[in-house]
Chains A and B, each alone.
Chain A
Amino acid sequence: ETGVTQTPRHLVMGMTNKKSLKCEQHLGHNAMYWYKQSAKKPLELMFVYNFKEQTENNSVPSRFSPECPNSSHLFLHLHTLQPEDSALYLCASGRDSAEAFFGQGTRLTVV
């Protein structure tokens, strides 16, 4: 248990659906991240939020839309995804140090 909670753990969605992934941390961290892990690829950083402000968008397609209403919550809104977007989506949080604490991930399947 790392203190970072992601819901849902599994999600199957059609290409025309709209869904949201949720991440919550109560560790007092100021930074939150979305990472993507596709099969046989390294974890890829998608978005970085620091004190609720987006500080990095790593060339992510607009069909992925992050939202950070406060330092404890992070969402990833999904719409019109493609089958190749199927992956494990990991949320992480951290302070100014480099260590990131990860949630358990959401296994997303786009059909």
Chain B
Amino acid sequence: DQQVKQNSPSLSVQEGRISILNCDYTNSMFDYFLWYKKYPAEGPTFLISISSIKDKNEDGRFTVFLNKSAKHLSLHIVPSQPGDSAVYFCAASATRLTSGSRLTFGEGTQLTVNP
């Protein structure tokens, strides 16, 4: 039972354009959502997060949008840069149920930004 899904295994965009990565979840108890970036041979690196009390969180070029009614979140990167090329993981947590970072991850989306 895949509670967090990233239906696009890969995405390719031109440098300078917007990258939009999507994530869907099924568990209504999830109340905190995170995006991680992973380069080959490295562990995932925390990128940005959003609590379910918000519908948008912005940090520089990165913005995460949350649509609770649709159980959908997205990560926007604008403008995209070649260094953004990596695998992006969506993760979710039910913080009211568990303490700490019990994260459920999606399968990841490989983003390639072409110069």
Residues 50-84 of chain B, each 1 if its beta carbon lies under 8 Å from chain A, else 0: 00000000000000000000000000000000000
* Residue from A31, A42, A104 within 8 A of B105 (CB atoms): A42
Contact mask for chain B residues 92-115; partner A; CB cutoff 8 A; 1 contact, 0 none: 010100111111111110000000
Interface size class of B (residues with CB under 8 A): 20 to 34
Most chain B CB within 10 A, of A33, A92, A95, A98, is at: A98
Residues of A close to B7: CB separation below 8 A: none
Q: Spot the interface stretch: A14-22, A43-51, A60-68, A76-84.
A: A43-51
Interface size on A, residues (CB 8 A): 30
In the bound complex, do residue B43 and residue A4 qualify as a contact, i.e. CB atoms below 8 Å apart? yes
Once bound together, how far apart are the Cα atoms of A61 and B54, in whole Å?
39
Q: Which residues of A contact B34 (CB under 8 A)?
A: 98-99
Give A4 to B41 CA distance when docked, in angstroms.
15
A102 in contact with B101 given A42-B4, A42-B107 (CB within 8 Å): no
* Known contacts A41-B107, A42-B106, A43-B105; is-contact A94 B100 (Cβ 8 Å): yes
Is A42 within 8 A of B2, CB to CB?
Answer: yes
- A44 to B89, alpha carbons, bound, how many Å? 12
Q: Which of A44, A48, A100 contacts B46 (CB 8 A)?
A: A100
Are B43 and A42 in touch, CB under 8 angstroms? Answer: no
Of the candidates B36, B91, B100, B105, which one forms a contact with A48 in the assembled complex, judged by CB atoms under 8 Å apart? B100
Chain B residues engaging chain A, CB cutoff 8 angstroms: 2, 4, 32, 34, 36, 41-46, 49, 89, 91, 93, 95, 98-108
